[in-house]
């Protein structure tokens, strides 16, 4: 089965309500959903050089990658963190898909017409900034160059091979102490950065659900890079 088919099937399950990213006990921090702002992120997968990406579970073809952005350290929300392209849904956005594509174009310079939307997953709460975030799953059908558009918004834009995300040597658990509580979460060390927090949680959940994940040492901990 191809990675494209795996992702399309997952998106279809999300549309039916058979799959949610937000697992109870990890994503249910207190927040007022009525006052929460709507946001959307683009989970854009692609095959380098348009080579078909074939998943051989639990391994994934080396050409499959996903687009990520390192946020500028000067931003008010989540400075310096690695994220999916995306942001708040504006009044002019017809849908959350339109918002995700607009934000991705503004942040990375990609051409939205080259992105095939596979589906939309149920929203995920991001209590720390009072957002309800809708993950939009996309496939890069016609690839275009990407790079930082505005260094006031992004420090770097990069495509990370999914195999690098799955490599047990690149997996760690981040630890953060806040208000007398300790929080742990999955993380990935790739491309000279640590992908952690909300983005890593979504990646980890999706890779597990796709059956692509391989065992890794969850006891290897590092402080969250904040």
CB burial of 122-148 (b: ≥16 within 10 Å; e: otherwise) equals ebbbbbeeebbbbbbbbbbeebeebeb
Written as one string, the DSSP assignment of 52-95 is --BEETTEE-TTEEEEEEEEPTT-SSSTT-EE-SEEEPPTT-SS
Per-residue pLDDT tens digits of the chain, which is 226 residues long? 588 899 999 999 999 989 988 755 554 455 666 678 899 999 999 986 444 444 444 455 667 899 999 988 777 666 778 999 999 999 999 999 999 999 999 999 999 999 999 999 999 888 777 788 999 999 999 999 999 999 988 999 999 999 889 999 999 999 988 778 888 999 999 989 999 999 999 999 999 999 888 899 999 999 998 7
The confidence score (pLDDT) of residue 29 equals 56
- CATH superfamily of the domain spanning 3-163: Nucleoside Triphosphate Pyrophosphohydrolase (3.90.79.10)
User: 144 near 114, Cβ under 8 Å?
Assistant: yes
Residue 190 — φ and ψ, nearest 5°? Answer: -140, 150
């Amino acid at each position: 089965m191809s990675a494209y088919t795996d992702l399309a099937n997952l998106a279809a399950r999300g549309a039916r309500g058979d799959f949610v990213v937000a697992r109870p006990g990890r994503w249910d921090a207190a927040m007022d959903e009525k006052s929460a702002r709507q946001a959307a992120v683009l989970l854009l997968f692609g095959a380098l050089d348009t080579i078909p990406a074939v998943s051989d579970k639990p391994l994934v073809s080396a050409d499959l990658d996903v687009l990520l952005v390192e946020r500028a350290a000067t931003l008010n929300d989540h400075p310096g963190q690695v994220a999916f392209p995306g942001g708040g849904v504006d009044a002019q956005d017809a849908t959350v898909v339109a918002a995700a594509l607009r934000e991705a174009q503004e942040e990375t310079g990609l051409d939205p017409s080259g992105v095939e939307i596979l589906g939309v997953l149920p929203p995920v709460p991001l209590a720390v900034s009072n957002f309800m975030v809708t993950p939009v799953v996309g496939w890069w059908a016609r690839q275009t160059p990407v790079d930082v558009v505005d260094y006031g918004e992004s420090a770097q834009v990069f495509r990370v091979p999914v195999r690098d995300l799955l490599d047990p040597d690149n997996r760690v658990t981040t630890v953060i102490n806040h208000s007398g509580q300790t929080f742990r979460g999955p993380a990935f060390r790739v491309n000279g950065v640590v992908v952690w927090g909300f983005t890593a949680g979504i990646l980890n959940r999706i890779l597990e659900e796709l059956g692509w994940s391989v065992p890794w040492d969850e006891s290897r901990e590092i402080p969250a890079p904040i």
